[in-house]
Amino acid sequence: MTYVVVENCIKCKYQDCVEVCPVDCFYEGENFLVINPDECIDCGVCEPECPAEAILPDTEPNIEKWLDINTKFAAEWPNITRKGESPADADEWNGKPDKEGMLSSNPGKGD
């Protein structure tokens, strides 16, 4: 089992999860974070830290697409180990449906 960042992170990107990860397995895109499933140790400490409830175990139904997205972008984006600034409008995007089309493939800054 691994943990996976899912759709509700798009345009929210709160980053509280990054601070608690003991193995630094988060990677930063322009408007989304991903978890590298090969680095995740399945400890689960990130899941309750996410204000957007956008981190789920890969045992959830229909999660395969998001596991693929996390795997793909973890190989392309820079690692992030410290919480940065969330977007100013993150709270407005939290919980909005149908954000998948807004996922940017551009990398974030990392740290």
* pLDDT tens-digit map of 28-37: 999 999 999 9
106 by Cβ neighbours in 10 Å (0-12 / 13-18 / 19+) ranks as exposed
Count CB-CB contacts under 10 A for residue 49.
16
Task: Express each pLDDT in 68-79 by its tens digit.
Answer: 999 999 999 999
Read off the pTM.
Answer: 0.95
CATH topology of domain 3-86: Alpha-Beta Plaits (3.30.70)
Is a pLDDT exceeding 90 seen at residue 1? no
Mean pLDDT for the stretch of residues 74-101 = 96
Is a pLDDT exceeding 90 seen at residue 111? no
